[in-house]
């Protein structure tokens, strides 16, 4: 989605500074608990962080205390503890991230001068200083993962504490984190331990280098974070504000507490204003806060509406949002392309504030709904995004479409403007390449895709199309109930793709879905349906030489004239890889129609239809309800046996309408 919305996110700079920074009132403490009810997760990785932000030089000086527990029943941990140092992705052109991305993300290029990095100045376990014993496993000179040596193994159930200190230079933002002018979006900023994955007793570390198309994977825990910032800056952060004090030197210290989250991100900016609203969910209200520059106030109201609605809808569909606050950052125009459209626990960034996004063009709302939705599929379920990105991004896309339809209607869920409507799933699918042109399966690891487009096509769009198609096959209500059960069963447990499909099958009465899942998610391509041929001929008695000897008789057309019935033949083909059941609608000259169902899991790639009818065939349409969204090229799904002269007239009218509309929008 981020790649596909790049043109909407890249925004011409507008507005400017409101003048010299002014001291902001000390923010009020949040009175809500960090999470509702009992702990939701095992809380294996718990962090205490203290960070001071130098806004003039865009630097951070920080300390960190990690308390990590090896789960009971797990294998012992020996040799080392791996930590992500994500900020080193922006250190030089030799990092894995920069090599894969070419220094460009979602249409925004790195500045060439605004490099970022993180230096560990101290690493201690007990009294032992280990900073000079650290190793970087690479590959090559990549330093986005560091291994901290262990003198003693960590037994199952044992807890270890690691003390770290680090200095950090933020990059000029082009990929999720960094600064632009006075705006600071600070994500992936602290040393973060990897995750033990695998069967109990046979775990291994999941701590991959920072790849360009991958996002993040971490254990849940409790975060206590102190941030020292100028008193003229507005700050938004993961969790709840539990402490605030002025330091007497034009700085202040803000304390945040978060529970059952797997990350901590924050924003600091001197020009932001805050707009608030309330989402009503089971278990208690959620305060929704939108942070925006004054010139973006009109869009902020739209983001607030979308954020509230998203929390209420996702909570009703899957699991009530368990945290008391959701912060939505609307980055300033010159930073939106790099910082916009990203998710963190209880805090997201949005985008698409553009003059062309008039009310009714729901692209800004769509971005907000998508990012807020991640607080379920990434924030609560927290699958390994590097290894199975589709479990977050693609499943979230599927859910986003449901929410958009509930808010804006099925036909105009993405656009309902000046008489033109567009539903998001079909609009995005129309803009995408045919699925047969994406030679990597959905289940490919994120760094296995050849480029960002291939990653986006498979991870976002093909996943959404596959899930919508599967929903059509098994039934909407049963499928959505199965999705709800999956979220309930696996929240805060890091589910895998295998868990996902096993959960769906169990909820759907144990029916075998492998015939669809294997080719759709772990194979290439999709369905490739087409009308190979269709014809009707008048029905008549047999013509030709009939009989033998003296009884031989030649039957001519005059002796066997055409009757009033028609003999028709239609051949449907599917040269794709996913054998999806599909309807074929046959329409006749007398205005009648009939529908044939092709469940071609057992009868190959051809479906011949032969029949007699009192009226000739005029049209054949495969999938008339447009339910098989995994079809590669729906253009071949319709055949008209007789030309329709009204088509060119309609096309001309549409062209004229959009020409006039463009002139109105752009003032031409």
Across the strands, what pairs with 154?
77
With a cut of 60, say whether residue 13 has pLDDT above it: no
Render pLDDT for 247-274 as a digit per residue (tens, 0 to 9). 999 999 999 999 999 999 999 999 999 9
631 falls in which pLDDT band (50, 70, 90)? confident
List, in order, residues 6 or more apart from 294 with CB less than 8 Å away: 15, 18, 271, 273
Per-residue pLDDT, 437 = 66
508: its two tokens: 């759907």
Q: Give percent of the chain with pLDDT exceeding 70.
A: 92
Quick one: average pLDDT of 122-129? 97
Q: Which residue has the higher pLDDT, 298 or 656?
A: 298
Contact in structure between 75 and 206 (CB atoms under 8 Å): no
Per-residue pLDDT, 387 = 96
Render pLDDT for 91-106 as a digit per residue (tens, 0 to 9). 999 999 999 999 999 8
Point out the least confidently predicted range of 17-31, 64-78, 136-150, 469-483.
17-31
CA proximity to 594, closest of 628, 574, 617: 617
Across the strands, what pairs with 119?
167
Per-residue pLDDT, 29 = 98
Q: Which residue has the higher pLDDT, 636 or 103?
A: 103
Q: Which residue has the higher pLDDT, 66 or 430?
A: 66
With a cut of 80, say whether residue 660 has pLDDT above it: no
Quick one: average pLDDT of 196-210? 95
Quick one: average pLDDT of 202-227? 97
- Using DSSP, state whether 429 is helix, strand or coil: helix
**Considering the chain, what is the average pLDDT of its residues?**
91
Q: Give percent of the chain with pLDDT exceeding 90.
A: 79
666 falls in which pLDDT band (50, 70, 90)? very low
Per-residue pLDDT, 408 = 95
Highest mean pLDDT (candidates 268-277, 575-584, 604-613): 268-277
Per-residue pLDDT, 634 = 73
3-state secondary structure 501-529: HHHHHHHCCCCCCHHHHHHHHHCCCCECE
Quick one: average pLDDT of 615-628? 94
19 falls in which pLDDT band (50, 70, 90)? low
The b-or-e profile of 459-470 (16+ CB within 10 A means b, else e) is bbbbbbbbbbbb
Quick one: average pLDDT of 387-411? 96
Per-residue pLDDT, 327 = 98
| C-alpha–C-alpha distance, residues 288 and 301, integer Å | 11
| C-alpha–C-alpha distance, residues 642 and 534, integer Å | 11
Quick one: average pLDDT of 347-351? 98
Contact in structure between 184 and 170 (CB atoms under 8 Å): yes
Lookup result for tokens 């020009």: 271
C-alpha atoms less than 13 angstroms from C-alpha of 244 in its C-beta half-sphere: 15
CA proximity to 217, closest of 381, 1, 38, 79: 381
With a cut of 70, say whether residue 643 has pLDDT above it: no
Q: Are strands 553-555 and 544-546 parallel, antiparallel or unpaired?
A: antiparallel
| C-alpha–C-alpha distance, residues 412 and 410, integer Å | 6
| C-alpha–C-alpha distance, residues 639 and 530, integer Å | 9
With a cut of 70, say whether residue 667 has pLDDT above it: no
Per-residue pLDDT, 434 = 67
Per-residue pLDDT, 180 = 97
Point out the least confidently predicted range of 40-49, 176-185, 643-652.
643-652
Per-residue pLDDT, 324 = 98
With a cut of 80, say whether residue 128 has pLDDT above it: yes
With a cut of 70, say whether residue 389 has pLDDT above it: yes
| C-alpha–C-alpha distance, residues 250 and 228, integer Å | 10
Render pLDDT for 507-544 as a digit per residue (tens, 0 to 9). 999 999 999 999 999 998 888 999 999 999 999 888 88
Point out the least confidently predicted range of 131-145, 250-264, 279-293, 528-542.
528-542
């Amino acid at each position: 989605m981020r790649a596909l919305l790049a043109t909407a996110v890249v925004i011409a700079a507008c507005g400017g500074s409101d003048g010299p920074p002014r001291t902001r009132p000390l923010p009020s403490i949040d009175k809500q608990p960090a999470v509702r009810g009992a702990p939701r997760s095992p809380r294996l990785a718990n962090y205490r962080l203290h960070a001071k932000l130098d806004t003039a030089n865009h630097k951070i000086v920080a300390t960190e205390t990690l308390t990590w527990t090896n789960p009971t029943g797990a294998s012992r941990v020996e040799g080392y503890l791996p930590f992500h140092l994500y900020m080193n992705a922006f250190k030089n052109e030799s990092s894995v991230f920069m090599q894969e991305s070419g220094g460009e993300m979602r249409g925004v290029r790195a500045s060439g001068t605004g490099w970022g990095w993180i230096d560990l100045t101290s690493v201690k376990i007990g009294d032992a200083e280990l900073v000079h014993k650290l190793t970087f496993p690479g590959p090559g000179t990549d330093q986005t993962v560091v291994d901290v040596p262990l003198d003693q193994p960590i037994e199952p159930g044992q807890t270890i504490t690691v003390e770290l200190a680090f200095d950090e230079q933020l990059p000029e933002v082009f990929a999720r984190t960094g600064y632009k002018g006075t705006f600071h979006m600070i994500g992936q900023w602290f040393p973060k331990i990897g995750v033990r994955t695998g069967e109990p007793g046979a775990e291994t570390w999941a701590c991959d280098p920072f790849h360009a198309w991958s996002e993040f994977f971490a254990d849940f825990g409790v975060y206590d974070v102190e941030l020292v910032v100028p008193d003229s800056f507005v700050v938004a952060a993961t969790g709840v504000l539990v402490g605030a004090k002025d330091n007497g030197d034009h700085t202040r210290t803000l304390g945040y507490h978060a529970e059952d989250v797997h990350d901590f991100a924050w924003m600091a900016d001197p020009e932001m204003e805050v707009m608030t609203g309330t989402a009503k969910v089971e278990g208690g209200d959620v305060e929704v806060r939108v942070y925006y520059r004054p010139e973006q106030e009109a869009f902020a109201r739209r983001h607030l509406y979308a954020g509230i609605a998203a929390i209420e809808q996702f909570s009703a569909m899957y699991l009530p949002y368990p945290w008391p606050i959701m912060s939505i950052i609307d980055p300033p125009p010159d930073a939106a392309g790099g910082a916009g459209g990203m998710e963190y626990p209880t805090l997201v960034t949005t985008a698409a504030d553009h003059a062309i996004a008039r009310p009714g063009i729901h692209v800004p709302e769509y971005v907000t709904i998508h990012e807020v939705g991640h607080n379920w599929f990434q924030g609560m379920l927290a699958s390994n995004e590097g290894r199975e990105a589709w479990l977050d991004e693609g499943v979230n896309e599927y859910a986003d479409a449901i929410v958009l339809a509930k808010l804006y209607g099925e036909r105009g869920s993405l656009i309902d403007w000046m008489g033109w409507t567009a539903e998001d799933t079909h609009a995005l699918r129309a803009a995408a390449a045919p699925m047969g042109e994406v030679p990597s399966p959905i289940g490919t690891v994120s760094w296995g895709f050849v480029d960002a487009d291939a990653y986006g096509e498979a991870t976002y769009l093909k996943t959404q199309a596959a899930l919508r198609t599967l929903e059509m096959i098994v039934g909407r209500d049963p499928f959505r109930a199965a999705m709800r059960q999956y979220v309930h069963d696996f929240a805060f447990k890091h589910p895998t793709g295998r868990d996902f499909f096993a959960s769906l099958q169990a909820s759907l009465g144990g029916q075998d879905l492998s015939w669809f899942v294997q080719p759709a998610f772990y194979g290439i391509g999709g369905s490739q349906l087409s009308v190979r041929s269709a014809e009707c001929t008048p029905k008549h008695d047999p013509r030709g030489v009939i009989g033998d000897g003296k009884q031989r008789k030649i039957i001519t057309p005059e002796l066997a004239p055409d009757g009033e019935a028609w003999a028709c033949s239609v051949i449907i083909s599917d040269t794709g890889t996913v054998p999806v059941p599909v309807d074929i609608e046959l329409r006749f000259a007398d205005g009648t129609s009939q529908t044939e169902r092709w469940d071609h899991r057992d009868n190959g790639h051809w479906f011949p239809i032969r029949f007699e009818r009192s009226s000739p065939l005029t049209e054949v349409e495969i999938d008339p309800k447009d339910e098989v969204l995994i079809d590669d090229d729906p253009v071949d799904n319709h055949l008209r046996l007789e030309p329709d002269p009204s088509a060119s007239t309609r096309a001309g009218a549409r062209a004229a309408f959009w020409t006039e509309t463009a002139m109105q929008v752009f003032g031409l």
